[in-house]
Structure 1
Amino acid sequence: MVSQAVILCGGIGTRLGTLTETTPKPMLEVGGRPFLLHLIQEVARHGVERITLLAGRFGDQITATFHGHRLFGAQIEVLAEPAPLGTGGALGFAVDRLDPEFLLLNGDSWIDADLTRFVLAWRRSRERDPALIAQMLPHRVADTTRFGRLVLDGDRVAAFDDKGDRRGEVSGLINAGVYIVDRRIVDLIPRHAACSLEREILPRLVREGRVVAAPVREGAYFVDIGIPETLARVREELIGIRTRPAIFFDRDGTLTRDSGYTHRVEDLHWMPQAREAIALANDRGYFVFVVTNQSGIARGLYDEAAVEMFHRAMQESLAQIGAHVDAFEWCPHHVEAAVPAYRKDCSRRKPGPGMILDLLAAWPVERRRSFLIGNGEVDMEAARASGLRAVRYEGGSMLDILTTSF
């Protein structure tokens, strides 16, 4: 999996007129919150740990809203360019903050894509050809006029025309504004100068055969917010598009083997076909949430960092088959805690519904089709207290249990 995502937030938004006179385009309101916050949540749910926002005009607004915050499991940092540098120049400006490879997204568009599978496709392509520098996410639209048009030869990008290079195209593949990039791309970008990734850098790499593509599924929802008509559309549609049912899994004894206060990465052992069950839930369009009591923290047996490392190991293992958990919630409290800071009768500790209710509040969940799977009575009680259907796991194939529970 990839630890870092970079989101380009420097576009001026000229075509939006007065809407962007005092507001950066990604900060425009959609569903009662900035569009950029929706995008951050969508990226973070695929297991990304760090999200770097490259801001431009009115970057102070993005900095004030997001810099230094931890959102949906990801640490957010904002880098504001000192002058307009374009999409390529912004990467050059951020070079010291870039991982060896990272996801790269436009901050003014949305594509309903599985980023974990996108990264897995990149891994496989890089195994065949280590010289690759980038992978693009193509999407088929009825009118390519406003977008960068792609031509593929197998999984290679054979041609890439920036949206400013032609008029009157009808249907075809476009660049959906999602990439995975090797940091070596920065070697092609002039320092401290404006540069367009789409017009100057990517076409060169395409000519050299160093760009591949991993298309999104047919019919995936795509929209940008670059013109008033599409902004109005995303304000009307995005919340509904994002809303999906969820499966809430207990962890120890349900997804992973319970060895007694399990917290060491080397003790991670999956229950039968648990990874495959999570992959199926991803395929079916369900959120996958893990809700786990971790009183070992309160008892002083391990700390919250150990829990985070264990969950990271789970994500890395899942990524090997193109699967992911959207969010983890854990309760470290116990009324008989040895560590005073964690001595608390907490409503988040199952059988209390707090962890589930917090997830329902933070994510656009369709409750009617959502349910919980767990192996204990506390799981059943927490589900009922949250108004969710409960499914008891008593061993055997988790994939079979899930298949019969939809």
Structure 2
Amino acid sequence: MNNKALFLDRDGIINVDHGYVHKPEDFEFVEGIFELCQLAIKKGYQIFVITNQAGIARGYYDVATFESLSSWMVNEFAKQAITITKVYFCPHHPTKGVNQFVMSCDCRKPEPGMILQAQQDFSIDLKDSIFIGDKISDMQAAKNSGIETRILVDSRYTDESPSEKVEGVMRIKQLQQAHKFVI
């Protein structure tokens, strides 16, 4: 395993988190995301999206709608000479929802299932990989999978309670500050 990866949360990192974004017209790219990904590719990283999508369990949109938006997003990256290797998503929610996706699982962050699946699918060296997210659960999933470089972008979700430790995490205010960690 010698492939390294840049794992990105979607809502809040790739796109502005407007809440359950599922249509291209509501998808607003975060400033600096393309430049960050271009740098990562130059440094030899494969790029993966790791995203919880509880809106599917809640019935706000279905898997086909999510996959359609993901294809659109991947194509927008391709226009910037960026390859997104794969989008991994968890459609589940442990308690809230209206369909068969209401369940506990090992893929919903903070569980590491999506990251570990990417590792298996693409022979990723997690110790040399990076995870960028905007929630404590992103950092927990990265830690639970063995990723050492964990970057937390401050957001409305990062005012953690004392019980939610973020030890070993680099905290940044804006995505552009992540460039210095992509080595």
User: What TM-score do you get using the length of structure 1 for normalisation?
Assistant: 0.39
**Alpha-carbon separation, structure 2, partners of 1:351 and 1:343:** 16
Distance in 2 (CA, whole Å) between partners of 1:345 and 1:371 is 26
State whether structure 2 residue 138 is matched by structure 1 residue 379.
yes
| 1:274 paired to 2:51 | no
Structure with the larger strand share: 1
Q: For the Cα contact (< 8 Å) 2:127–2:146, is it kept in 1?
A: no
**CA shift at 1:294, angstroms?**
0.2
CA shift, 1:277, in A, is 1.0
8 Å Cα contact 1:274/1:397 also seen in 2: no
Q: Write the mapping of 1:67-78 to structure 2, written as runs, cut at 5 A.
A: none
Which residue is equivalent to 2:117? 358
Of 174, 178, 183, the residue aligned with 1:401 is 178
**Aligned: 1:331 with 2:90:** yes
Q: Unmatched 5+ residue regions in structure 2?
A: 156-172
% identical equivalent positions: 34
Q: Relative contact order, CA 8 A, sep 6+: which one is greater? A: 2
Tell me if structure 2 keeps the 8 A contact 1:348–1:354: yes
How many residue pairs match? The answer is 165
- The structure with the largest alpha-carbon Rg is 1
What is the CA deviation profile of residues 355-377 of structure 1, one whole-angstrom value per residue up to 9, with x for unaligned ones? 11111111121222112110100
Could you tell me which residue of structure 1 aligns to residue 107 of structure 2? 348
User: Does residue 369 in structure 1 map to residue 128 in structure 2?
Assistant: yes
CA distance in 2, matches of 1:370, 1:404: 10
Question: What residue in structure 1 maps to residue 22 of structure 2?
Answer: 263
- TM-score in terms of structure 2 length: 0.84
Superimposed CA distance per residue, residues 86-134 of structure 1 (whole angstroms, 9 cap, x where no aligned partner): xxxxxxxxxxxxxxxxxxxxxxxxxxxxxxxxxxxxxxxxxxxxxxxxx
Match of 2:151 in 1: 391
Name the CA distance, whole Å, in 1 between partners of 2:133 and 2:78. Answer: 23
Unaligned regions of 5+ residues in structure 1, if any? 1-239
Q: Per-residue deviation at 1:336? A: 2.1
Across the aligned residues of Structure 1 and Structure 2, the Cα RMSD in angstroms comes to 1.6
CA drift at 1:288: 0.5
User: Is the contact made by 2:58 and 2:97 (CA closer than 8 Å) also made in structure 1?
Assistant: yes
Tell whether the 8 Å contact from 1:273 to 1:398 is kept in structure 2 after alignment. yes
